[in-house]
Amino acid sequence: MHPDGERVLFTREQIQSRVAGMGAEISRDYRDKDLLIIGILKGAVIFMSDLVRNIKVPLCFDFMAISSYGASTKSSGVVRILKDLDRPIENRHALIVEDIVDTGLTLNYLVDNLKARGPASLRVCTLLDKPASRIVPVEINYNGFIVPNEFIVGYGLDYDGRYRNFPYIMVLNRKVYERGK
């Protein structure tokens, strides 16, 4: 593990095996449906690229980018669309793919925003769920792992833009984000 980590939460192998399971479940549920995956930039990119290769039905994908925390570990509660979908989702079976649900503020906003566009269905898939820090309730249809209320990086998740490339998920050592204080 990299020295900025406190401990590994999930190894590459554990992640790959869970993602394969999630892909199989989604393949079954969307067998006869025209699936549109909506990936949330940038955190979900690594997870999404592994997930779609484990889904056995033909699908389309698109991306949205929303404002994130910046160089902080706390949610501001302010959600802003930085990049919208390229195409309408009306009458499509849409599945949001997120990296982690923390306060739920981002997802709550996204679900309301996308529902208003008239999809045939809208579900949520997240790799990680951190239920202890939830502020608004959100329905999660597919969840990879439950995680403790700590700051986590790797496999798409970042701190100040870094660590997304790590193939495993680790708890970030506090000294990394307390350095600048």
> Active-site residue numbers?
102
Q: Which of 4, 9, 2 is nearest to 129 (CA)?
A: 9
Nearest to 51 by CA among 108, 5, 104, 97: 97
* Residue 104 interacts with ligand IMP (CB under 6 A): yes or no: yes
Q: What Å distances lie between residue 144 and 4, 132, 135, 137, CA to CA?
A: 24, 16, 20, 18
Closest contact distance (angstroms) between CB of 11 and ligand IMP is: 18
What's the closest the beta carbon of residue 115 comes to ligand IMP, in angstroms?
17
> In degrees to the nearest 10, what's the CA dihedral of 68, 139, 129, 175?
30
**Contacts of ligand IMP in 12-51 (CB under 6 A):** 43
Determine the interface stretch with ligand IMP among 28-36, 48-56, 87-95, 99-107 (rule: CB under 6 A): 99-107
Shortest Å, Cβ 152 to ligand IMP: 4
61 binds ligand IMP (CB under 6 A): no
Examine residue 156 and tell whether it contacts ligand IMP (CB under 6 A): no
> Could you give the angle at which helices 12-29 and 45-52 cross, rounded to 10 degrees?
60
Q: Which of 30, 98, 114, 122 binds ligand IMP (CB under 6 A)?
A: 98
Nearest CA-CA partner of 160 in 42, 80, 72: 72
* Site of interaction with ligand IMP (CB under 6 A): 43, 68, 75, 98-107, 151-153, 157
